[in-house]
Structure 1
Amino acid sequence: MIRNVHIEDAQQLVDIYNYYVLNTIVTFDDVPFTNEDFNEKINTISKSFPFIVFEEDDKILGYAYANKWREKPAYKQTVESTVYLHHEAQGKQIGTKLYTELLAELKNQNYHVIVGGLTLPNDASVKLHEKFGFKQVAHFKEVGFKFNKWLDVGFWQLNL
């Protein structure tokens, strides 16, 4: 089931996210988040943007949300998208289901451009974005440093 996020989901979301913080280059965060950090994230983002979860048997297997792309007023119709899956739930099309719903909500809210920022390499995320018609528009080399190595970041864009 896909539904809007609830504040009570914070612990499950932080557990999903912290796996990536501690074990992967997918996020450049390197300090685990707390439940309070995710409470704040949920409260802040869900006030203005879609923030959804995929739940099965009372367990959250993934989440997706949109957030501000940049601060200036001229960017107000552009958002950045985020999707994370429980590391044991990959390969089950949950990311596809979440992105389908998220993009539909953003289109209904008259957003014009969706931007996805990806640490590279990340074949699964590249495939997910391109499946929905996102096109790569930027590739920044060695802009992040995690786990003692320099990492690239790419940006994919979808015009709704």
Structure 2
Amino acid sequence: MIRPATLADAARIAEIYNPYVTDTVITFETETVTASDIKARMKSVWDKDLPYLVIEDAGRVVGFAYAAPYRPKAAYLHSVETTIYLDPAASGRGLGGRLYRALIVALRASHAHTAISLIALPNEASVALQLATGWREVGVLREAGQKLGRWIDVGYFQLDVS
């Protein structure tokens, strides 16, 4: 089941997200987050009238996706950056595709005109998800970040949602 996230989901979302922070280069964050941090992020997304969704499996949240403003400058008002994470135990079952498609539908009902996704490379699963849900690759920033002792390229993907 896919549904809008609630503040009650914050602890579970942090639980899903934090291993990506500590053990991977998929996110460029380096400090784990708390449920309070997630609640503040959720409120920030909702304040911009943007979607924050979760997907459940057997009544347990196993993934989340949301859109946030791409950049703070006024001309970027209708551009959003998307985020999606799944519990690794839930991967490989099509849940990510279902969740991402639901996010895209929600974005089409919002003020967003274009969605942008940034992916730490290499990441075959995330690239495949982007392409399977209609995104196009628009560029790569070489060695844009450094984490876990290595330089990381970032792929930029874009989807028109208006």
Give the TM-score band, short-chain normalised. over 0.9
Which residue number corresponds to residue 155 of structure 2? 154
Asked if 2 retains the 8 angstrom alpha-carbon contact of 1:141 and 1:151, the reply is yes
Please state how far the C-alpha of 1:110 moved relative to its aligned partner: 4.3
Aligned to 1:15: 15
- Normalization by structure 2: what TM-score? 0.95
Moved over 2 A (4+): none
CA-based RMSD of the aligned residues comes to 1.1
Cα distance in 1 between the residues matched to 2:71 and 2:38: 21
Structure 1 residue 143 and structure 2 residue 144: aligned? yes
- Kept in 2, the 8 Å contact 1:81–1:116? The answer is yes
2:126 aligns to what SS in structure 1?
helix
Residues 19 and 87 of structure 1 are in contact (CA less than 8 Å); yes or no, is this contact kept in structure 2?
Answer: no
Alignment of 1:4-153 (within 5 A): 4-47=4-47, 48-153=49-154
Q: Provide the C-alpha distance between the structure 2 equivalents of 1:71 and 1:84, rounded to a whole number of angstroms.
A: 23
The one-letter code sitting in structure 1 at the alignment partner of 2:126 is S
Aligned identity (percent) is: 36
AA in 2 matched with 1:133? G
Q: Which runs of 5+ in 1 are unaligned?
A: none
CA distance in 1, matches of 2:53, 2:110: 15
**Which stretches in structure 2 are left out of the alignment for 5+ residues?**
none
